[in-house]
Amino acid sequence: MLKKIRLERFKNFKEAELTLGNFTILVGTNATGKSNIGDALRFLHGISRGYNLAEILGEKWGQGGFLEWEGIRGGKQNITFQNFPTFAIEVTLYFPEEFECDEAGNLIVKTQDKYELIYRIEVNPGINGKLPKLVEESLYYQKSLKLKIENLPNNSGKMLLQIYEDSETKKIIEFPTKADKPLLIDSDLINNIFSENEINKSISHDIDFYINEVLDELSHLQFLDLFPDAMRRPSNPGQNILGDRGENLSSVLQGICQDQNLKIGVLEWLKALTPMDATDLEFVTDITGKILLVLIEANGQKIPIISASDGTLRFLAIIAALFNESDDLPNFSCYFLEELDNGLHPTRLHLLIELIETRVKQTNLQIIVTTHSSQLLRLLSYETLQNTSLTYRLENQPDAKIKRIFDISPETETLIKEQSLARLHESGWLENIMEFSQEDE
Ligand SMILES: Nc1ncnc2c1ncn2[C@@H]1O[C@H](COP(=O)(O)OP(=O)(O)O)[C@@H](O)[C@H]1O
Ligand SMILES: [Mg+2]
């Protein structure tokens, strides 16, 4: 799972770090960088797709002339903070080795053999028509530096690969530059380098293994910005990936409901979340052969998804995301969900929070959401509160910052217990205290 993401000179962050939990909440006034964090994660996801830097930042067109990837919101021209030449993103990934379920069906880590991988990439995005370039790339296994690879383009047009086995033993290899593409995804190049140079077999095996771990983890990031009209469209049978806007909702749910246990889970939550408008699901094939979801109302009336309400569709899509994996683990996925509370009635919000908090415990899912809803904050469990962070800007400073709510001040936790985070949020206390503590310094 993602444990930490660090941003340097990325969009409106000069230097900021976000700690992530199973369920992470991002709050903060408009334009403080919540979605920019999503963009940074999307950049990392782009790497796992094997694209080069120009494609990740710009766009990727596939053979046959279709758009495969939309690039990073805002493009590359304005991606670095205040036109700095480079930006860097560092992600810490945490791998608990094995899971098992306790009696309540919650996941617990079985072995203690857990480890961390830290991947960092620094990029010059190349403004005014220049191509983006890799400035530096590194992968550490454990903080104590058991293994580290560093990829540094040097002045002579060559890349330097430095492999550390521990903090002292170092091997440096020079190889022809390929600064347009992260080394991480160039397994051919890595294999060539390893076969032409004298590198301990077990080390090259380790490097290969850890690189794949990182890529695998990043490949399971998904970004949901749900649009009701996209969710209403019928979808092709067998399509089991929920689109970023909620596309394929009908066929994804159909796939999930083929598993009886999952179907029971889905219906249970659906009935609780939308007691009037959906107690059962049916899937019909339309005249074009596509799948169309039909909601069975409590009174037996059938409502095709085309006529379902926006709020119901959002519930359905979130349920689909949360159940769209088998309970056989580990099968990590991480969703970044924009404005979780959007279009949902406050009385249903508590169930939605309960659903997410339950699912992240039962599965290998990680959920990151942004919200403006104080109501939602009122409903969070203590554990989720611990993973709630504020994005904010100070009056006289150009950059935005990120702070875990519980780290704001030593009294914050007590204050939240007494007043609830919701009240602190709606009164603007969170932003004010940051301003005050800045003045104190
Ligand atoms: N390269 C950049 N340098 C400085 N600020 C930037 C840069 N790119 C975007 N921003 C700022 O980021 C803010 C938008 O952040 P965003 O993540 O969309 O906010 P929200 O918290 O509402 O999701 C805007 O104020 C925009 O000016
Ligand atoms: Mg936003």
- The CB of 438 under 6 Å from ligand 1? The reply is no
| Length of the chain counted residue by residue | 441
Report which ligand 1 atom has the smallest distance to the Cα of 391: 21
| Contact assessment for residue 119 and residue 138, using Cβ atoms and an 8 Å cutoff | yes
Residue 63 has pLDDT above 50, yes or no: yes
| Ligand 1 site, residue 371, Cβ cutoff 6 A | no
DSSP state of 16: E
Question: What is the reported pLDDT for 193?
Answer: 86
- Specify the residue with its C-alpha closest to ligand 1, atom 9: 11
Instruction: Give, as one character, the DSSP assignment of residue 419.
Output: H
Q: Which ligand is nearest to the CA of 399?
A: 1
Distance between CA atoms of residues 176 and 184, nearest Å: 15
Q: Is the pLDDT of residue 330 over 50?
A: no
- pLDDT for residue 327: 47
Pairing status of strand 280-285 against strand 291-296:
antiparallel
- Sorted by sequence, the CB contacts under 8 Å of residue 184 that are 6+ apart come out as 47, 119, 121, 137, 139, 211, 214, 215
- Both tokens of residue 312? 């119901």
For residue 322, what are its two tokens?
């949360």
Task: Over range 106-132, report the average pLDDT.
Answer: 83
User: From ligand 1's centre to the CA of 250, what distance in Å?
Assistant: 34
Q: Please tell me the distance from the alpha carbon of residue 209 to that of residue 227, in angstroms, as a whole number.
A: 38
DSSP symbols for 318-375? HHHHHHSS-SSS---EEEEES-TTTT--HHHHHHHHHHHHHHHHHSSEEEEEE---HH
Q: Is the CB–ligand 1 distance for residue 32 below 6 Å?
A: yes
In the structure, what pLDDT confidence band is assigned to residue 171 with cuts at 50, 70 and 90?
A: confident
**How confident is the model at residue 328, as a pLDDT?**
45
Is 326's pLDDT higher than 60?
no
What would the mean pLDDT of 281-295 be, rounded to a whole number?
96
pLDDT digits (tens, 9 = 90+) for 200-259: 888 888 888 899 999 999 999 999 999 999 999 999 999 988 999 999 999 999 999 999
Output the CA 219–ligand 2 centroid distance in Å: 22
∠ CA 385-433-414, nearest 5°, is 45
Q: Which protein residue has the closest C-alpha to ligand 1 atom 11?
A: 12
Q: Which ligand is nearest to the CA of 80?
A: 1
Cβ 11 under 6 angstroms from ligand 1: yes
76 close to ligand 1 (CB < 6 Angstrom): no
What is the pLDDT, as a whole number, of residue 111? 53
Instruction: Please check the confidence at residue 110 and state whether its pLDDT lies above 70.
Output: no
Cα–Cα dist 57/79, whole Å: 9
CATH architecture of 1-220+332-441: 3-Layer(aba) Sandwich (3.40)
Domain map (residue ranges) of the chain:
1-220+332-441, 232-330
Q: Place 92 in a pLDDT band, splitting at 50, 70 and 90.
A: very high
C-alpha count within 13 angstroms, C-beta hemisphere, residue 264 = 2
Find out whether the beta carbon of 28 lies less than 6 Å from any atom of ligand 1: yes
First to last CA, the chain: 35
Res 366: pLDDT: 95
Atom of ligand 1 nearest to the CA of 370: 23
**pLDDT top residue among 374 and 146:** 374
Please state, as a whole number, how many other Cβ atoms lie within 10 Å of the Cβ of residue 20: 22
- Cα of 380 to ligand 1 centre, how many Å? 27
- Answer with the residue of higher pLDDT: 157 or 326: 157
Backbone phi and psi for residue 57, each to the nearest 5 degrees, phi listed first: -80, -40
Residue 98 has pLDDT above 70, yes or no: no
- Cβ-based neighbour number of residue 98 at 10 Å: 13
How many CB atoms within 10 Å of residue 426? 16
Most confident of 122-136, 301-315, 377-391: 377-391
Q: CA 56, 59, 62, 68 torsion: positive or negative?
A: positive
Most ligand 1 atoms within 8 A of CB, residue of 5, 8, 12 to mutate = 12
Q: What is the pLDDT of residues 404-426, one digit of tens each?
A: 999 999 999 999 999 999 999 99
% residues pLDDT > 70 (the chain): 94
DSSP assignment of 268-287 equals: HHHHHHSTTT-SEEEEEE-T
pLDDT mean over 319-340: 79
Measured in Å, residue 2 CA sits from the centre of ligand 1 at 23
Closest ligand to Cα 79:
1
Q: What is the dihedral of CA 36, 217, 99, 113, to 10 degrees?
A: -100
CB neighbour list of residue 430: distance below 8 Å, 6 or more residues apart: 27, 390, 392, 405, 408, 424
pLDDT at 329 over 50: no
| β-pair partners for 164 | 148, 170
Q: For a substitution probing ligand 1, which of 5, 7, 8, 11 has the most ligand atoms within 8 Å of its CB?
A: 11
